Structure 1
Amino acid sequence: MKNMSPPIVETQNLSKTYGGIHRVHNVNLAVQTGQIFGFLGPNGAGKTTTLKMLLGLIKPTEGKVKVFGKDLDRHRPNILNNTGSLIESPSYYGHLTGYENLKVMQRLRSLPGKNIDKVLKIVRLENHKHKKADQYSLGMKQRLGIAMALLAFPSLLILDEPTNGLDPAGIGEIRELIKSLPEQYGITVVLSSHLLSEIEQIATSVGIINDGKLLFQGTMQSLQAANKVTIRFKTPDPARAEKILQSQGYLPKVQGRQLLFTHLPDEEVSYINRLLVEQGLPVTRIEEQKKSLENIFLELTGKERSL
């Protein structure tokens, strides 16, 4: 059943121009409640600029932002009370412990004291809470930043490149943490990344941006559905094989010594193979090829998956 409730985050023709150059151009985002929305694009594509506009940190040149169905311009304090964010890199006081940093934030925002221990547990910093933040590893600093963003247990969490600069173990920890948030805490997550592999493993839906333009938006399944499966048959006489198959109503594409088909069920693969062999044409290889998400990303952006 289609989700009929309004998107938790919605933008209309969102644009930002610096010196006559569009950093973000007519972006129409729609993030549904409960999603992990992966905002994917090469560095410099306009991801951080867009996220900053969602939080009102920079003003759009054109367009509108709605969060929780409300206009950001008119309801910003109310919206931000229910939104957590980590943009670019975490802000903290290095001379204070992890716990003390959270205590400052908790008092500033008049939040329940018990939230501190709760978020420390979620980000797995409870055993390091009395250590000075300056002595934290990069991954621990990132987790402290996420703990601060989670402190009010917001409905919406916006994270800008949350795994940037982390080692594989740190990336895995942050990934598992983010994946748990919608189900366990009812938090919708919007996160940006320039790593396709990251978004692929974590997001339920994705928006692909390049040069400030939104090139794709939809579920991960709909992006993967764009992967057409190709079946390749290799045979010593492709021209004769093509004639035989055409007489049976098939229209293969010939490429070198191979015949290419798209969307061929298994039983038809087996039938074509038998047909050619019975006609005295050996099939030396049958291959299934699926366009990877990397290739789709590359075609959309014209750039490598990680830049």
Structure 2
Amino acid sequence: MTTIVSTHQLSKYYSGVCRVDKVNMTVYEGDIYGFLGPNGAGKSTTLKMLLGLSKPTNGDVKIFGKNFNKNRQSILSKTGSLIESPSYYGHLTGLENMRIMQRLRNVPQKNIDEVLHIIRLENQKDKQVKHYSLGMKQRLGIAMALINFPKLLILDEPTNGLDPNGIREIRELIKSLPHRYGITVLISTHLLSEVEQMATSVGIIDNGNLLFQGSMDLLQKKSETCICIKSLNNTLARKILTANNYTFLPQVKDDFIAFRSINDNQIANINKLLVDSNIKVTRIEEHRKSLEDIFLELTGRERSL
């Protein structure tokens, strides 16, 4: 696989405080890389260093296989970005803002028309941006980032300010970019649901540390399935199961007896054993960790995203 973005020991300190700590990130061609973490985790700082908006304290950045410091102009010419919030001239229309970006990027008029259509702003293009809603301004920022149809698109919290329908539209747009335009996408977010629905690979960052990096399939494998059984007398059920050499997880959740890695025959045998012992089984359920559970486990503490 071709590597589009790679960092080595990337670090950033502000006033002696570490915000990004020795991050080794790898984004492959065609990826939708979900950069996930709570607010203040170091996501925006990392993305700024990838774009040269912030100078790393330590470490290296390579994009398209080239050292960023030595190939800044050629790299940025093939990169689109939206960091934190869109920049625009409020007294100009959406179309006039796009024409300024067109001149800066040296792209044809057809790019403006296509991008405005993709982002669903063609009917609002003649309206002054200061009269746009927050969601429309966000979409304009994404349109500006897409105007040159870059090889790499970096988006920092792109669904901020969008209503549920707008979030769904942007999600579907992002999912279409790799195969439709050959664009690799690096997107930061604190929304677990968005990562689950559109990312092909993920990096989880907290307190500046990259805690996990890999494919979504690899992350989902951390979500071990367990079989949970509830009865009318769990205390006695546990004693009987222990006496018959069955092992179950020590933690109790919602008063279930939880088993890991057991097959259908074992489940049936456990159920028969309990029923034959005059213990009424009320539920047998399959439980799987959510992405949020995995995140909390990785960070080692419960905190809201």
Residues of 2 paired with 1:93 and 1:9: CA distance? 31
Who is 1:241 aligned against?
Answer: 240
Residues 244 and 276, structure 1, Cα contact 8 Å, conserved in 2: no
* 1:294 maps onto 2:281 in alignment: no
* 1:179 maps onto 2:178 in alignment: no
* Range with bigger deviation, 18-27 or 290-299: 290-299
Residues of 1 paired with 2:34 and 2:251: CA distance? 37
Residues of 2 paired with 1:135 and 1:116: CA distance? 20
Q: What's the CA shift for 1:303?
A: 4.5
* 1:144 maps onto 2:140 in alignment: yes
Residues 237 and 274, structure 2, Cα contact 8 Å, conserved in 1: no
Instruction: Give TM-score, length-normalised by structure 2.
Output: 0.92
Q: What's the CA shift for 1:277?
A: 2.4
Say which SS state the counterpart of residue 273 (structure 1) adopts.
helix
Q: What's the CA shift for 1:288?
A: 2.2
Q: Deviations over 1:210-231 (max 9, x none)?
A: 1111011111221121112221
Instruction: Give TM-score, length-normalised by structure 1.
Output: 0.92
Structure 1 residues 293, 166: closer, same or farther in 2, change over 3 A? same
Residues 252 and 260, structure 1, Cα contact 8 Å, conserved in 2: yes
Who is 2:303 aligned against?
Answer: 304
Q: Which runs of 5+ in 1 are unaligned?
A: none
The correspondence of residues 149-298 of structure 1 with structure 2, limited to 5 A, is 149-235=145-231, 236=233, 237-243=236-242, 245-246=244-245, 250-253=246-249, 258-298=256-296
Residues of 1 paired with 2:58 and 2:46: CA distance? 12
Q: What's the CA shift for 1:279?
A: 4.6
Q: What's the CA shift for 1:92?
A: 1.0
Q: What's the CA shift for 1:100?
A: 1.2
Say which SS state the counterpart of residue 47 (structure 2) adopts.
helix
**Once superposed, what is the RMSD of the aligned Cα atoms?**
1.8
Say which SS state the counterpart of residue 281 (structure 2) adopts.
coil
Which residue identity lines up with residue 291 of structure 1 in the other structure?
A: K
Say which SS state the counterpart of residue 165 (structure 1) adopts.
coil
Q: Which runs of 5+ in 2 are unaligned?
A: none
Q: What's the CA shift for 1:118?
A: 0.9
Who is 1:60 aligned against?
Answer: 56
Residues of 2 paired with 1:79 and 1:57: CA distance? 13
Residues of 2 paired with 1:59 and 1:239: CA distance? 58
Pick from 74, 84, 105: which aligns with 1:78?
74
Say which SS state the counterpart of residue 102 (structure 1) adopts.
helix
